């Protein structure tokens, strides 16, 4: 009599208890990530409930400031984020997050006696994976269109190389070559895309760790003020790899077979639907929408040309009783209504030993007004303008309380760097 084959035994996976050091490290890391990622601040994207994110930001600012005054003493008056992520407030915030995570770890260890956190660790890494993916996509998409680093302007080309600071030097190095910037952006987009799916998440973490290692080293070596942020992204990418450390060591080091990675799967249909909806929403908001908006910026019509012919102007005459140290050496008018002067005069916005300005030409009155910034209400200088011929401009007016006459002559000055040279065949090192 035939008998039905015996049903295979069902093995129930029982997570092994974690050693103490791993539990403490996880508790510290989880709290630090919660503070750093600040999920409540994400609510600021939604109208009507942004009051929660505003309240959270105010509370965090108060705590960071108070901790700095009584404990850290990084600086008496903290400078907030202002385009630089390495301000004194950034370092005080870092110190506060580390201290809060340490105290939270101690409290958590006293009230929670669990021996493992496999499920919580899994979801922590999922949130971290999507965060790293969102950053990689946002920076990568902008680079695809060459909009993060721009090609050197005429004023920058007229600045001696030795006057540039390391950050600006590196920025222009990348902005000079659109293909290189596209390549670096494509790798970041690749990392972000791979991180969105479990099957490719480990490969995505490898790519993102490589990308952000390069960014971090660039920031440190060229004094770019994004050191804290890029270091966090590099560490976060490696945290994603730590979860697969045993499998990676078996494959790359010990030459042993590896087991498939374990992932939590929802057993009920509503949860699987919710998971799919959230992933689609993430791809839309952090992938498709940024791609569309960046393309719109890229394809938008260029700014209308300025009323003065753009180019490099030599100062052929500078008549004033002011000291020679304030003398103008040359003037650049950009394709827009901005420009710069080679002068150390602080009436203009000083950058790399050039005075930058925004100008407004009144064709009726034949006056030329200079402002430091486009948002300034009043000009710092106003001149009467004369144009003897197509290549010369004559400015007359008061300059620091003294009469001034400046004659400018437009030259066909050619900067070799602006020629975008490329040679397959190079017979000598150029």
> How far is it, in rounded angstroms, from Cα 127 to Cα 89?
26
Tokens, residue 121:
């660790």
| pLDDT surpasses 50 at 231 | yes
Q: Phi first, then psi: give them for residue 329, nearest 5 degrees.
A: -95, -45
Three-state SS at 217 = helix
Q: What is the pLDDT of residue 259?
A: 81
Place of tokens 């260029």: 302
Task: Report the predicted TM-score, pTM, of the whole model to 2 decimal places.
Answer: 0.89
Contact assessment for residue 169 and residue 349, using Cβ atoms and an 8 Å cutoff = no
Cα–Cα distance measured from residue 31 to residue 29, given in angstroms and rounded to the nearest whole number: 6
What is the CATH topology of the domain spanning 311-416?
A: Lipocalin (2.40.128)
Chain mean position to CA 155: 24
Cα dihedral 412→418→424→429 (10° resolution): 90
pLDDT tens digits, one per residue of 199-230: 999 999 999 999 999 999 999 999 999 999 99
Half-sphere exposure of 75 toward its Cβ, with a 13 Å CA cutoff?
12
CA dist 59 and 51 (Å) reads 12
Q: What is the mean pLDDT of residues 29-56?
A: 81
> Where are any strands of DSSP class E within 256-325?
311-319
- The string of pLDDT tens digits covering residues 357-412 is 999 999 888 999 999 999 999 999 999 999 999 999 999 999 988 999 999 999 98
Using CA atoms, how far apart are residues 115 and 19, in angstroms rounded to an integer? 8
* Per-residue pLDDT tens digits for 312-343: 999 999 998 888 889 999 999 999 999 999 99
DSSP 428: S
Distance between CA atoms of residues 321 and 347, nearest Å: 17
Q: Give the β-pairing of 349-351 and 392-399.
A: unpaired
Show the tokens assigned to 212. 């952000």
pLDDT band at 4 (very low <50, low <70, confident <90, very high): very low
The domain limits of the chain are 15-113, 117-254+277-300, 311-416
The Cα–Cα gap between 82 and 152 comes to 23
What is the gyration radius of the CA atoms in the chain, in angstroms? Answer: 29
Report the greatest alpha carbon distance in the chain.
120
Under 8 Å between Cβ of 191 and 120? no
**Tokens representing 291?**
């791609």
Q: Does the pLDDT at position 49 exceed 80?
A: no
Please give the backbone phi and psi of residue 153, each rounded to the nearest 5 degrees, phi first. -75, 170
Residue 46 pLDDT exceeds 80: no
- Nearest to 352, CA basis, from 79, 84, 157: 157
Q: Please tell me the predicted confidence (pLDDT) of residue 276.
A: 85
**Contact at 8 Å (CB) between 156 and 334?**
no
Determine what percent of the chain is predicted with pLDDT higher than 70: 94
SS (H, E, C) 377-401: CCCCEEEEEEEEECCEEEEEEEECC
Task: Specify the pLDDT at position 1.
Answer: 44
């Amino acid at each position: 009599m035939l008998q039905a084959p015996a049903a295979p035994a069902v093995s129930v996976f029982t997570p092994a208890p974690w050693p103490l050091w791993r539990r403490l490290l996880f508790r510290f890391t989880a709290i630090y990530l919660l503070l750093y990622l600040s999920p409540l601040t994400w609510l600021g994207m939604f109208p009507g409930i942004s009051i929660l994110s505003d309240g959270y930001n105010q509370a965090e600012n108060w705590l960071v400031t108070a901790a700095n005054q009584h404990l850290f003493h990084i600086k008496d008056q903290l400078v907030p984020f202002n385009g630089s992520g390495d301000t004194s407030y950034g370092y005080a915030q870092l110190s506060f997050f580390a201290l809060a995570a340490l105290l939270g770890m101690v409290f958590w260890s006293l009230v929670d006696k669990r021996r493992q956190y496999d499920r919580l660790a899994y979801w922590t890494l999922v949130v971290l994976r999507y965060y790293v993916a969102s950053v990689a996509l946002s920076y990568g998409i902008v680079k695809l269109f060459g909009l993060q680093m721009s090609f050197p302007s005429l004023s920058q080309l007229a600045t001696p190389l030795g006057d540039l600071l390391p950050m600006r030097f590196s920025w222009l190095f990348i902005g000079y070559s659109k293909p290189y910037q596209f390549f670096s952006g494509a790798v970041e987009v690749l990392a972000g895309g791979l991180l969105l799916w479990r099957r490719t998440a480990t490969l995505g973490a490898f790519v993102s760790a490589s990308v952000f290692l390069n960014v971090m080293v660039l920031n440190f070596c060229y004094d770019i003020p994004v050191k804290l942020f890029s270091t966090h992204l590099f560490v976060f990418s490696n945290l994603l790899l730590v979860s697969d450390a045993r499998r990676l060591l078996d494959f790359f080091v010990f030459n042993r077979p590896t087991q498939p990675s374990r992932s939590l799967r929802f057993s009920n249909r509503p949860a699987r639907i919710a998971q799919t909806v959230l992933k689609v929403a993430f791809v839309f908001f952090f992938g498709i929408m940024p791609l569309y908006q960046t393309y719109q910026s890229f394809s938008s019509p260029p700014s209308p040309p300025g009323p003065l012919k753009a180019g490099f102007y030599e100062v052929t005459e500078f008549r004033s009783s002011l000291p020679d140290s304030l003398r103008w050496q040359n003037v650049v008018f950009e394709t827009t209504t901005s420009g710069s002067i080679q002068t150390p005069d602080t009436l203009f916005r000083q950058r790399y030993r050039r005075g930058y300005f925004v100008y407004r030409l009144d064709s009726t009155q034949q006056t030329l007004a200079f402002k430091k910034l486009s948002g300034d209400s009043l000009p710092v200088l106003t001149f009467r303008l004369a144009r003897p011929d197509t290549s010369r401009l004559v400015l007359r007016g008061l300059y620091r309380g003294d009469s001034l006459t400046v004659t400018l002559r437009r030259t066909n000055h050619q900067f070799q760097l602006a020629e975008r040279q490329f040679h397959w065949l190079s017979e000598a090192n150029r």
